[in-house]
Structure 1
Amino acid sequence: MFDVITIGSAVRDVFVQSRDFKVLKTKVFKTGEALAMSLGSKLYIEDLKSFTGGGAVNTAITFANQGLKVGALTVVGDDSAGHSLRDYFQEKGIARDFLIVDKKGNTACSIILTTGKRGRTILSYGGAEWHLRKSDIPWKKLAETKWIYLNHLGGESADLVPEIIGYADRNNIKVAWNPGKTQLEDKKRILPYLYDIDVFIVNQEEASYVTGELYEEREKIFSKLDKWVRGLVIMTRGAKGVEVSDGKTRWSSGVLPLKRVVDRTGAGDAFGSGLVAALIKKPGDIEYAIQFASANATGVLTQWGASKGLLKKSDSPTKYGTLQIKKTML
């Protein structure tokens, strides 16, 4: 029996840093800024790093680090990156029972462009992980888990989200869901399944979008999500911390102190999976889960890559300090 199966992407993350990348103010893009480089020029790179990433992998490492029995359901290509990922699973203690190899596809890849000082732009190629099909999933084997941690599924893989949630409900498997852009854009399709979710994880912008409420209207956002989701609602707020609600009680906290952020890649995965890992170890202890999840995410911020800084089983949840958690009865 598995403690948890993660479902989502497996990606090769490549970090490219150059002082020739410039951040420009512009109204052309929604963010008001652009990462620019000289067209037609040969630019030199100061630093090049490559890591294994992706939602299914990042979250699985958190669970494996805590001594939990974990597998990752994902699709890779029959290429060098895919072969490397297979070896990486074995190295990290992640079961390969659910690792699917697409003989015709390429393993997903993200290229992260950064100045090294501020901001980044990510070029994302979905590759094989966008082509997960119902027939690929070992459904009987999937029933042998207590939890499913469902990450973003893109491309045609997104069509399986309702199928996976329904299957989990019929087989008494708890589900933690951190939906991605593809799911959030199809709100009408995901709303009927929210009631079957035990832990629903979104950031404040995503929560605003799903509920149709203004970004600042947190009370209205939670009012809707608490009705729609039978379990916990987690709304991360970036540098402002997190809010967690079970419909009866709301917990809120800031963030742990950190002098310097090295890289933000994977921090969201670290928080969500950290919270679920803590709940598996200490069911119902929300304050412990928030503390553990925050420390797990903070660790990721201290190093390059999405998994190097994740807490080990021997690490204390207070490794980076102790949160002040406010508890409010609703």
Structure 2
Amino acid sequence: MSFDLVVIGDANPDVMLGPVREVAFGQRERLVEQGRLVLGGSAAIMACGAARLGLRVAFVGRVGDDPAGAFVRRELAARGVDVGHLVRDPRLPTALTAVLAAGDGDRAVLTSPGCLAATGPDDVPPRLLAAARHVHAASFFLMPRLARSLAEVFERARAHGATTSLDTNDDPADRWDIPGRDPLLKVTDVLLPNATEARALSGCDQLTDAAASLARSGPTVVVKDGERGALLCGGDQLLTTPPVPVDAVDAVGAGDSFDAGFVAARLRGLDLRASLAVAAACGALSTRAHGGTAAQATWAEACAAADLEGVR
């Protein structure tokens, strides 16, 4: 296999500002203590986290033929992610996101999608799917062309022996309508929502009910639940893991690092319980610095934080 992991999805610069106490229109200016330009996008952060954990990772997606796209390409490559299949869109700009941190752990996210909406199944080379052990897709609702064909992409990957995972992330339209939902979930081995997303996707208020409802369509459902840890529902198993204590600085991208940890653990042969613990450790450890990639865990760090003795 050429790659352990192929990640399909969004990659963009994040402009992080905060703490933001007031936003004033009327052409008024306000000052904040901190501002950073970092690599963003759920898929991009997940890919970097997986590479940091030692996986051979390739990225599939779109950026514009512009300075923002060059920044994304450079940042991914610097973290060991193969960008040979990251398309340069000649017409549309790279997506851009502004993250406004409130200072109490909450944040607002403003995204200009740029070329993300043009991302489609033709951007995913069949030979790359044939060369992967696992295929992960993220930010489902930001890429409607790809979303409509993602089940076929996953089917092709599985036909070559790969496993699959999906993190839908938030739906900016708040509709939570997955085109061809049942066919897609049937070819998704692992679904990785956070608690809010699991409830919205399932229509269930109680989290274990939400996970069980989604799992009935086929995937193992792994739910990120912040300070309450995480839970897993699949087949006849319902597993939970507690949060990993850490002095958190910034939670941006923590869920994507969680995804990377779970996938890496499964590809290394760990069982579901141990993989859930590694994922929780990776999500927690990523919050030690600002931005989604600055503090991502190594495999040794993740296993130590998950209290897995003897795992290499």
**TM-score normalised to the size of structure 2?**
0.89
SS at match of 2:97: strand
Find the partner of 2:78 among 74, 83, 91: 91
Q: Residue by residue, what CA displacement relative to the aligned partner does 1:89-122 show, whole Å, maximum 9, x if unpaired?
A: 3221111221111011211111112243442211
Find the partner of 1:202 among 193, 200, 211: 193
Which structure's CA Rg is the greater one? 1
How big is the shift at 1:184?
Answer: 6.9
Find the partner of 1:169 among 149, 158, 178: 158
Find the partner of 1:56 among 40, 43, 48: 43
Q: For residues 152 and 76 of structure 1, what CA distance do their matches in structure 2 show?
A: 15
Q: Is the 8 A contact 1:303 1:309 kept in 2?
A: yes
After TM superposition, list the pairs within 5 Å mapping 1:103-114 onto structure 2.
103-114=90-101
Over 3 Å counting, the alpha-carbon distance change for 1:79 and 1:144 in structure 2 is: same
Report the equivalent of 1:303: 289
Q: Is the 8 A contact 1:256 1:294 kept in 2?
A: yes
- Unaligned 5+ segments in structure 1 are 23-35, 324-330
After TM superposition, list the pairs within 5 Å mapping 1:1-330 onto structure 2.
1-17=2-18, 21-22=21-22, 36-37=23-24, 39-153=26-140, 154-155=142-143, 156-182=145-171, 185-187=176-178, 189-213=180-204, 215-216=205-206, 218=208, 220-229=209-218, 231-258=219-246, 260-283=247-270, 285-319=271-305, 322=307
Q: Is the 8 A contact 1:184 1:210 kept in 2?
A: no
For 2:284, the aligned partner's letter is T
* 306-315 vs 100-109, which moves further: 306-315
SS at match of 1:13: strand
- Unaligned 5+ segments in structure 2 are none
Over 3 Å counting, the alpha-carbon distance change for 1:171 and 1:40 in structure 2 is: same
Q: For residues 117 and 160 of structure 2, what CA distance do their matches in structure 1 show?
A: 26
SS at match of 2:84: coil
Q: Is the 8 A contact 1:18 1:44 kept in 2?
A: no
Over 3 Å counting, the alpha-carbon distance change for 1:97 and 1:241 in structure 2 is: same
Over 3 Å counting, the alpha-carbon distance change for 1:252 and 1:136 in structure 2 is: closer
Q: Is the 8 A contact 2:13 2:71 kept in 1?
A: no
How big is the shift at 1:10?
Answer: 0.4
* Equivalent residue pairs, number: 303
Q: For residues 234 and 304 of structure 2, what CA distance do their matches in structure 1 show?
A: 24
* 125-134 vs 145-154, which moves further: 125-134
Q: Is the 8 A contact 1:184 1:206 kept in 2?
A: no
* Identical aligned residues as a percent: 23
Q: Residue by residue, what CA displacement relative to the aligned partner does 1:123-152 show, whole Å, maximum 9, x if unpaired?
A: 111111221133333222322111001112
Over 3 Å counting, the alpha-carbon distance change for 1:16 and 1:117 in structure 2 is: same
